[in-house]
Chain A
Amino acid sequence: MSIGQAFLGLLESHPRHGYDLKRAYDERFGQDRPLHYGQVYATLSRLLKNGLVEVDSIEPGEGPERKCYAITAAGVTDVERWLANPEKPDLYLQNTLYTKVVIALLTGRGAAEILDTQRAEHLRLMRDLTRRKTDGDLADQLICDYGLFHLEADLRWLELTAARLDELTREVRS
C-alpha cells in the first residue's frame, strides 16, 4: 500500500490537515494498521519536497501551527499514473513457507505438520475476516474479500504441497 498516493487521492477532493488525513486513511484503509503520526508527517514532508502537495493555509493556535495541505497539478498527475499502472504481481517464489518445508525435509523432520499447522492458522484468519465481512458494510466486504481470496490461494498451495510431499521429500533428499 502506497501511503503517499493514498494521501494524494484523499487530498484531491479537498485540502486537509495532517490529522484529518490520518483519520480518513485509518478509516478507509488502516483497520488493521493505523498510521503513526510520524509516518503521516514524514509522508507529507516528502510529498511537499517533491512538489506533489503544497501548504494551502496555516491556522495559528495555542499549540503548534496547523498546516492545511492541498494537492498540486503534479500531484494529480502522480495519482493518475499510479492508478493507471498495474501493480507488479508478487509471486512469493522464495516465501517463508516454502523455505520452512524444504528445511524441514532437509533436516529429516516432517513437513506435513508444518503444513497442517499453517492451514489451521490460515483458516483462523479467514474466519475472522468472514465474521468481519458478515457484520460489516460493503467497503468491509470488499477489503475482507481481497484478503480472503489471497489466503485461499495460499491454502490451495498448502493443499497441493501436502499432496506432493512424498515426491518432494525424495527430490530434496536425493
Chain B
Amino acid sequence: MNGTTTPLLAGTGLRKTYGATPALVDATICVRAGEVLAVMGPSGSGKSTLLHCLAGIVAPDAGRIVYDGRELTAMSDRERSALRRREFGFVFQFGQLVPELTCLENVALPLRLDGLKRREAERRAAGWLDRLEVADVADKRPGEVSGGQGQRVAVARALVHQPRVVFADEPTGALDSLNGERVMRLLTRATREAGAAVVLVTHETRVAAYSDREIVVRDGTSHDAELVA
C-alpha cells in the first residue's frame, strides 16, 4: 500500500453517541481505491457504526468524512442519498432482498431506480448473477433460495451499478463455513475485477484474511496508520 496516495474515502476524528452510549469516541479510517479493507473488533466496539457513518447512512456527531474530494458530512440528505445510490454498494448479514421480487429483479433494482430500461437492467443483472455463480436462481424469489445463494444474489445487487465502494457488514455472519468461504471468494474476486474498494466489517479473522489490510476498532476508537495527516 502506498502511503502517499490520496484515499478515496477518509473519516477523521469521528464521534457518535446513541443516547448516553458512546458508539464512536475517536475513529479514524481511510479507504484507498480498489483495496479490500477489513474493519475488525469485538462485538459492540463500534465497527458497524463506523461503517454506517462512512457510507453516509448515519451522520456522525463530530468529525469529517471526505469521499473523492467531497465532504460527505457537509452534504444535504438528498445529495448523500444520491451518492449512496450511484457510487456505493451494500451487503448486509441478511434481510436485504425484496421478497416479492425475483432474484433477477432484485439485482436489476438499483439500475431501474437509476432510470435504466427494464430490458437492459435485467440483461446486466443476469450477467452479475452468472459471475456470482447463481444464474440458476434468476427466476426464483429470495424465500425460495438457500442462505448462501441469497447472499450471492445480494453481492450481485451490490455490484450491478459498478459502485466504487462496497460496504459489507458481516456478509457471512448468517452462513456456514463453506458458504461463507464461497461468498468471500466471489465477493473479493468480483470487486477486484471491477476495481471497487470494499469496507468489510467482520469479527471473523478467516473472513478478514480475504482483505488487503485491516484496522481494529476498540471501544469506539480506531487509528489508521495509512492515513496521511
> CA–CA, A161 to B204, complex, Å?
17
Decide if A148 is an interface residue (CB 8 Å cutoff).
yes
Decide if A76 is an interface residue (CB 8 Å cutoff).
no
Which of B42, B189, B214 is A123 in contact with, Cβ under 8 Å?
Answer: B214
B216 CB contacts on chain A under 8 angstroms? 116, 119
Decide if B58 is an interface residue (CB 8 Å cutoff).
no
A119 CB contacts on chain B under 8 angstroms? 216
Decide if A151 is an interface residue (CB 8 Å cutoff).
yes
> Interface segment, B14-22, B24-32, B69-77, B205-213?
B205-213
Which of B42, B209, B212 is A126 in contact with, Cβ under 8 Å?
Answer: B209
**Contacts A119-B216, A152-B205, A156-B205 known; 17 new A-B pairs at CB < 8 A:** A116-B216, A122-B205, A126-B206, A126-B209, A127-B209, A127-B210, A127-B212, A130-B206, A130-B209, A134-B185, A134-B189, A148-B209, A149-B206, A152-B204, A152-B206, A155-B205, A163-B42
B205 CB contacts on chain A under 8 angstroms? 122-123, 126, 151-152, 155-156
A163 CB contacts on chain B under 8 angstroms? 42
10 A-B pairs within 8 Å (CB atoms) are namely: A127-B210, A129-B209, A130-B210, A134-B188, A134-B189, A148-B209, A152-B205, A152-B206, A156-B205, A163-B42
Decide if A113 is an interface residue (CB 8 Å cutoff).
no
> CA–CA, A73 to B218, complex, Å?
59
Q: Nearest CB to that of A130 among chain B residues?
A: B209
| Residues of A109-127 whose CB lies within 8 A of B | 116, 119, 122-123, 126-127
B-to-A contact residues, CB < 8 Å: 42, 185, 188-189, 204-206, 208-212, 214, 216
A155 CB contacts on chain B under 8 angstroms? 205
Decide if A20 is an interface residue (CB 8 Å cutoff).
no
A122 CB contacts on chain B under 8 angstroms? 205
The interface centre, meaning the residue of B189, B205, B208 with most chain A CB atoms within 10 A of its CB, is B205
> CA–CA, A152 to B205, complex, Å?
6
| Residues of A62-92 whose CB lies within 8 A of B | none
Determine if B208 and A123 form an interchain contact, defined as CB atoms under 8 angstroms apart: yes
> CA–CA, A129 to B212, complex, Å?
13
The interface centre, meaning the residue of A122, A149, A159 with most chain B CB atoms within 10 A of its CB, is A159
A126 CB contacts on chain B under 8 angstroms? 205-206, 208-209
Nearest CB of chain B from residue A148's CB, rounded to whole Å? 6
A152 CB contacts on chain B under 8 angstroms? 204-206
The interface centre, meaning the residue of B188, B205, B209, B211 with most chain A CB atoms within 10 A of its CB, is B209
> CA–CA, A126 to B181, complex, Å?
14
The interface centre, meaning the residue of A134, A156, A163 with most chain B CB atoms within 10 A of its CB, is A134
Which of A116, A130, A148, A159 is B42 in contact with, Cβ under 8 Å?
Answer: A159
> CA–CA, A119 to B218, complex, Å?
14
B214 CB contacts on chain A under 8 angstroms? 123
A116 CB contacts on chain B under 8 angstroms? 216
Top 5 A-B pairs, shortest CB-CB distance? A126-B209, A130-B209, A155-B205, A152-B205, A127-B209
Q: Nearest CB to that of A160 among chain B residues?
A: B42
Nearest CB of chain A from residue B129's CB, rounded to whole Å? 21
Determine if A127 and B211 form an interchain contact, defined as CB atoms under 8 angstroms apart: yes
